[in-house]
Amino acid sequence: MKRIIKLTINGKPVETAVSPNQTLLQFLRDDMNLTGTKHGCGLGDCGACTVILDGKAVNSCLVLAIQADNSEILTIEGLAQDGKLHPIQQSFVDKGAIQCGFCTPGMILSAKALLDQKPNPSELEIRTALSGNLCRCTGYQKIVEAIGEAAEVIRMREES
Amino acid sequence: MGDYQVLNTRATRVDGPVKATGQAKYADDFKFQGMLYASILQSPLAHARILRIDTSKAKKLPGVKAVVTSKEAGLIKYGVSPARYDETLFAHDKVRYVGDEIAAVAASDPDIALEALSLIKVDYEELPAVFDMFEAMKEGAPLIHDEFPGNMNAEVHQEFGDTEAALQSCDLVVDHTFLNKRQDAAFLEPHSCVAVFENPGRLTLYTSTQVPHYVMRTVAMTLQIPVGNVRVIKPYVGGGFGPKCEATPLEMSCGLLSKITGQPVKMTYSREQVFLHSRARHQFYAEMSLGVMKDGTMVALRNKAVLDGGAYTSFGIATVYYSGSLLGGPYKLKSMKYDGYRAYTNKPACGAQRGHGGVAHRACFEQLIDITAEKLGIDPIDMRLKNIMVTGDMTVNELDMSSLGMKECIEAIRAGSGWNNKKGKLPKGKGIGMACGFFVSGAGYPIYRSDTYHSTVVIKLSEDGGVANVMTGSAEIGQGSDTAMAMIAAETLGIKLNDVRVYSGDTDYSVDLGAYSSRQTLMTGHATKEAAEDVKNQIASYLAQELNVPVASITFVDGIVKFDGGPGNFEKLRTNYIKEHRGWTDPPTGEYLTFREAARMAYLKAGTIVGTGKYKPPRLGGSYKGAAVGTSPAYGCSAQIVEVSVDLETGEITVDGMTDAHDCGLAINKTSVEGQMQGSLSMGLGECLFEEVKFDSRGRIINPSLGEYKIPTALDMPKVKSIIVESHEPNGPYGAKEVGEGAIMPTIPAILNAIYDATGVRINELPVTSERLFMAMKNKT
C-alpha cells in the first residue's frame, strides 16, 4: 500500500506516493530522477548515497522514503545556485579532489553538513566527518585539502 | 622540461564540474523506454554437478519477460586470453564456485526479477571442493576442470643466466617467503550495464568497464552477433582498478536478454555480487633467495610463485608471468630464475588489480633486500643505490629502461622524509622503512594476437573552427585520461584547454584497448598527439598557400597563429572571415590571427578538417617463452618511505607518514599524477594492514560488504608527501609515462620494513592486523 508523503527536496515542495519498503535512495533515484545520489552498497557502509536530511548528513539507503515525510532534503543537485558551484564543489574541482567521482556527491554533502556546524574544522574533524564516506581513488588527501580550502572561502565570504 | 602552455601544469579536470554537481551519468543512471530489469542466479555451492534446471515456474511469474540458461546462451567458451578460454556464460555441466552463474531473468521490475530467480529450481549433485591452492595441487585433489590435471591452470619456468651457479658463487644467500591475501578492488560503483538491442540486429551496451574494445569483442563472440553490430559505450565509471578489465556475465546476460526480448535490459550487481564476481587481486605465495657479495652487490635471484586463481583463468596467465618478469628491475642482476604456478580452486576467479601480478612479489623482494642489507651491515637505501639501474639499462629479462629516474626517486624520498636523521635513531615502537618498484607504461602486446593499433584517435574541428573534438575509444575511469588527452591535444594544436572537448569510451569513435596496464597516457597520448599534429598541419598548409608563406614559418600558440614569431600579414584572411560571418556575435579581434579564424577558413576550403593518429609499440622484448609479458615501451618507477608507530602492548599499527616519489616522465597534469600516487598508497596500505576476502569452510565469502571487508577511511590515511620526479621518456608522448600502478609497488614492503624497524619482528603474511603483529612479537620474546 502506497502512502502519500510531503517533503521539500532541494527547495522545491514535493507531494507523492511511496511504497512503505522503498528507501529514500530508491525514491530519489527512481522516482525523482535525482541520480546524482549514488548507490554503492545499499548497506550504509560506503556513504555514496549521502544526502542532507533536516541539516544532517544521512545514508539515504538506510532511510525509508516514508521516514522523510515532512522533512527537508538537500541532494547534490540542489547545491549549486544559479549555475554557480557551491564553494565546496568549486574547491573539489580546483584541488583535484575528484577522480572517478562516484563518492563525490556524498563526500561534498558530508562536508557541507560539517561546515554548516563547524565553519573552522581541524584536519582531524574533517577526516572524522568523512570517515563514513569511502573513496578508493584519492587516498583522501586532496579531499581533505579541498574541504579545508572551502571552509576558508565560506568564512571569508561571510565576513565580508 | 620543455616550455609548455598547457602540459606540465595543474589543470582542473575536464569532468570536474559534472562530477561535482551530480550530473555525470554512470551506467546505473541510464533509463530507457520499456526498460527491463535483469538479475542473475548464482550457485550456492562451491562445486557441484548440475543435474537439472527447471525454469518453468519462473517463466510463468507475471512480469517475467525472459529466463535464460546455457540452453539459450549456448556453450561458447570465452575468457581473457584466447589460450585459456575456460568459461561459458552460464554453467551447464557443473558449477565451480559459490557465485558461478546459472541463469538470468529479465522482468518488468527488479523485485519481480529477484522473485523469479527464487523460482528457478536447480538440482545439484554436490562434489568435493578444494579451496586452498596448495591442497588443490596435491595428488587426489578434486578436479575442477577436466582439461587441467592437477588443477594446474598455468605454469611458467624462466631462467636468465645460470642462477644456481651464480648463487653458489655469492658470499651470502638469503631466503624469504611471503603470503598475501585475496583482495577485492572495492571500487565504489558496482558493475552495471544497460543493453539495447535494436533492429536490424545492432546491440549497444552502456556499461561500467575499463575496456570497451575487449567487451565488444567478447560479447560479439559469445552472443554470436557480428562484431560490427556491437557498440560499447562506457559512461563515467566509478573506479575499476583492474577487475573491470574484461567482459562480465552481467554484460553478456543483458545483451542476450535484450536480444531475446527486444527491449532494453539493465542489470546492476549488488555489492555482494561484486565480491562474488571478483577478478581482483590473487592470493600469492612467494619464495625467494637473493645472492649477494659482501659489498652489497646483488648477483642472483631465485623466485617461486604459487597463485590461487579461483575457478577460472580470467587474466591469470598474464598475472603468473608478471610475478616473475616484474622482478627483473630496478636492480641489476646477473641471473634470475622464476617458477610460477597458478592453481584452480573452488573460489571466485582472480584477475588483474593495480600493480598486476607484481605487488606481492615486490613486497617479498623488497623485504628480502632489507634483510640482506641488515646482515651485511649496509643501510637499506645505500644497498639499493649500489645496485640501481639507470636510464638505458636493460634488465636480465630484457626489459629496456629507456628512462629510469629510480635513483632520483630514492634521493628525493631520503631528503623529503629526513631518513638520515631517523633511520636507526627512533625509539622502540617507532619505525621507518623504504622500498622501490617499477611498472609498465602499457602492455607491449594486446591480449589477443593481432596487428591492431593499440590506440587510434580522431580529432574533428567544429564548423566554426573554435573547438577541437577529440574522439577516442579510451576509457576515463577516474584516472583523468580525458583531461590528459585534452591537454595533449591543446598543447599540440596550440590552443586553450577550454577549446578542446573529449568524447571517449565509445567503440564507434576509435580503436583503443582501454584502461589497463597503465597504457593510456603513453599510447592514447601518442595517438592524440599525432591526430592533433595532423589537424595542425592541414591548417598550416592552408595558411601557407593562402598567404604565400613557408609552412615552417607558422606556429600555433595559446589560440593564436604566429608567422615567423610575429603577427605577419593576415589582413586578407580576417577580411574574408568577417565577410563570411556577418551577423555572428564574436568577430575576431587583436593583432594576431586567431586559431579559430585560421581553422574556420581552412575548414571552408577543405569542407571539413579531421585529423587522425595511431599508435602501436614496436616489437618489444626477448625471444624466450612468455617474453611478451612485462614488455612495455617505457617503465615508470617509484620509491617510498613509510613511518609507523606500533603499540608494543597490543600490536596496533599507526602509519604516521608516507613519502612517495614517482618518476612519470613528463607530468602531463601534476594534480592528477599526485592523485594517482596518493590513491595507490591508500590501496597498498589497505592491502597491507586490513584487507582480506575471507571464506567459510564451504567456499562462501563471509565478508562480502564494505563494512566487513575494510578499506582505508579518511582516518586511516596519514598525510602523504608526494614528490614528482620527471625524467624524459623517449618513447612517450612529450616524454610522458605511467603513474597509475607503479606507485603501489613499494607501499606494502615499505610499511613492512617500517614495522620491522619499530618492533624487530619480520612479518611475512598479510594483512598485518594487530593480532598478527601481537602474536609475532609474543612468539619472538
Taking the Cβ of residue A127 and every Cβ of chain B, the question of whether any pair is shorter than 8 Å is answered with yes
- pLDDT: is B585 or B708 the higher one? B708
DSSP-H helix ranges across B494-561: 520-547
Cβ-based contacts of B22 with chain A (< 8 Å): 34-37, 75-77, 105
> Which member of B16, B29, B189 has the closest CB to residue A98?
B16
Residue B108: burial class (beta carbons within 10 Å; 0-12, 13-18, 19+): middle
- As beta bridge partners, residue B103 has B41
Q: What pLDDT does residue B1 have?
A: 52
Does the pLDDT value for residue A63 go beyond 90?
Answer: yes
CB atoms within 10 A of CB A71: 17
Q: Does domain B358-437+632-780 have CATH number 3.30.470.30?
A: no
B16-23+453-615 CATH: 3.30.365.10
Decide: helix, strand or coil at residue B134.
helix
Place of cell 556475465: B249
CB pairs < 8 Å spanning A and B: 177
- Domain residue ranges in chain B: 16-23+453-615, 31-127+188-239+244-277, 358-437+632-780
d(CA A10, CA A4): 19
pLDDT number for residue B347: 98
pLDDT of residue B710: 97
Can you tell me the distance from the alpha carbon of B733 to that of B488, in angstroms, rounded to the nearest whole number? Answer: 8
* Residues in a beta bridge with B562: B555
**Which regions of B390-528 does DSSP assign to beta strands (E)?**
430-440, 455-461, 468-472, 500-503
Which element (helix H / strand E) includes B666? none
Q: Return the residue matching grid coordinates 580522431.
A: B458
Distance from CA of A69 to the nearest CA of B (A): 24
Rounded Cα–Cα distance for residues B663 and B649 (Å) = 39
For residue A27, what is the DSSP state? I
Residue B582 — pLDDT band, cuts 50, 70, 90? confident
What's the rounded mean pLDDT across residues B384-398?
97
CA distance B55 to B48: 19
The answer to whether the CB atoms of B19 and A135 lie below 8 A apart is: no
The rounded distance, in Å, linking the Cα atoms of B352 and B318 is 9
Q: How far from A97 is each of A59, A89, B647, CA to CA, in Å?
A: 21, 10, 32
Contact B480 A99 (CB under 8 A): yes
CA dihedral B155→B158→B162→B168, nearest 10 degrees, is -50
- How far, in Å, CA of B349 to CA of B310, rounded? 4
> Over pLDDT 70: what percentage of chain B?
100
> What residue ranges of chain A are covered by domains with CATH 3.10.20.30?
3-78
Q: Cα(B719)–Cα(A144) distance, rounded to whole angstroms?
A: 10
Q: Give the pLDDT confidence of B88-118 residue by residue, as tens digits.
A: 999 999 999 999 999 999 999 999 999 999 9
Amino acid at B130: V
Pairwise CB contact (< 8 Å): A93 & B16: yes
Give me the helices (H) in B445-519, please.
Answer: 481-493
| Closest residue to A36, CB basis, from B22, B189, B268 | B22
pLDDT of residue B587: 84
**Alpha-carbon span B182 to B180, nearest angstrom:** 7
| Close Cβ partners of B345 (under 8 Å, ≥ 6 residues apart) | B130, B131, B132, B133, B136, B144, B151, B308, B309, B310, B311
Residues of chain A with CATH 1.10.150.120: 87-159
Confidence at residue B781, expressed as pLDDT on a 0 to 100 scale: 73
Is the pLDDT score of B588 beyond 90?
no
Q: Please give the C-alpha separations between residue B200 and each of B65, B196, B230, B475, in angstroms, as whole numbers.
A: 21, 12, 12, 28
Q: Are B90 and B69 in contact (CB under 8 A)?
A: yes
Query: Is the CB of residue A143 less than 8 Å away from at least one CB of chain B?
Result: yes
pLDDT of residue B593 exceeding 70: yes
CA closest to A75 among chain B residues: B22
Closest of B322, B411, B391, B191 to residue B627, by C-alpha = B322
- Does B498 have pLDDT greater than 90? yes
Query: Which cell goes with B475?
Result: 576509457
Tell me what the mean pLDDT of segment B355-368 comes to.
98
Residue B584: predicted pLDDT: 81
pLDDT of residue A29: 98
pLDDT confidence of A69, banded at 50, 70, 90? very high
Q: With 60 as the cut, is the pLDDT of residue B262 above it?
A: yes
- Chain-chain contact of B672 with A96 (C-beta, under 8 angstroms): yes
The pLDDT of residue A32: 98
| Separation of first and last alpha carbons in chain B | 54
Note the residue count of chain B.
Answer: 781
Q: Which residues of B touch A104 (CB under 8 A)?
A: 19-20
Q: What is the largest CA-CA distance in chain A?
A: 52
Please answer yes or no on whether A85 and B21 come within 8 Å at the CB atom.
yes
Q: Mark residue B325 as left, alpha or beta (left: phi above 0; alpha: psi -120 to 50; beta: remaining).
A: alpha
Q: Does domain A3-78 have CATH number 3.10.20.30?
A: yes
**Strand B202-207 relative to strand B335-344, pairing:** unpaired
Residue B506 DSSP symbol: B
At B586 the pLDDT is: 82
Look at residue B780 in the predicted model and tell me its pLDDT: 86
Query: How far is residue B256's CA from residue B90's CA, in Å, rounded to a whole number?
Result: 12
pLDDT tens for residues B42-92? 999 999 999 999 999 999 999 999 999 999 999 999 999 998 999 999 999
d(CA A119, nearest CA chain B) in Å: 19
Contact B312, B96 (CB under 8 A): yes
pLDDT band at B495 (very low <50, low <70, confident <90, very high): very high
Amino acid (one-letter) located at A133: N
pLDDT on residue A131? 97
The type of residue at B567 is P
- Are A124 and A56 a contacting pair, CB within 8 Å? no
- The whole-angstrom distance between B626's CA and the closest CA on chain A is 32
Candidate from B189, B270, B715 with C-beta closest to A42: B270
Q: How far is CA B543 from each of CA B586, B593, B605, rounded to the nearest angstrom?
A: 22, 11, 11
Flag whether pLDDT at A6 surpasses 70: yes
Are B478 and A35 inside 8 Å of each other by CB? no
Mean pLDDT of B522-548: 98
CATH number (3.40.50.12160, 2.40.50.140, 3.40.50.1100, 3.90.1170.50) of B31-127+188-239+244-277 reads 3.90.1170.50
Distance (Å, whole) CA B503 – CA B482: 8
Mean pLDDT to the nearest integer, B647-672: 98
Which pLDDT tens digit goes with each residue over A22-31? 999 999 999 9
Interface probe for A, chosen from B13, B14, B19, B210 (most Cβ of A below 10 Å), is B19
Mean pLDDT of B332-360: 98
Q: Please answer yes or no on whether A134 and B271 come within 8 Å at the CB atom.
A: no
Is residue B175 within 8 A of residue B301, CB to CB? The reply is no
CATH code linked to domain A87-159: 1.10.150.120
B707:A99 CB<8 A? no
**Residue B602 to residue B386: CA distance in whole angstroms:** 57
CA gap B615, B636 in Å, rounded? 19
Cβ-Cβ contacts under 8 Å for A16 (sequence gap 6 or more): A4, A5, A31
Domains B31-127+188-239+244-277 and B358-437+632-780 share a fold: no
Residue B585 scores a pLDDT above 90? no
Mean pLDDT, chain B, integer: 97
The shares of helix, strand and coil residues in chain A, as percent rounded to the nearest 5, are 40, 20, 40
- Identify the bridge partners of residue B107 per DSSP, sorted by sequence position: B37, B64
A35 touches chain B (CB under 8 A): yes
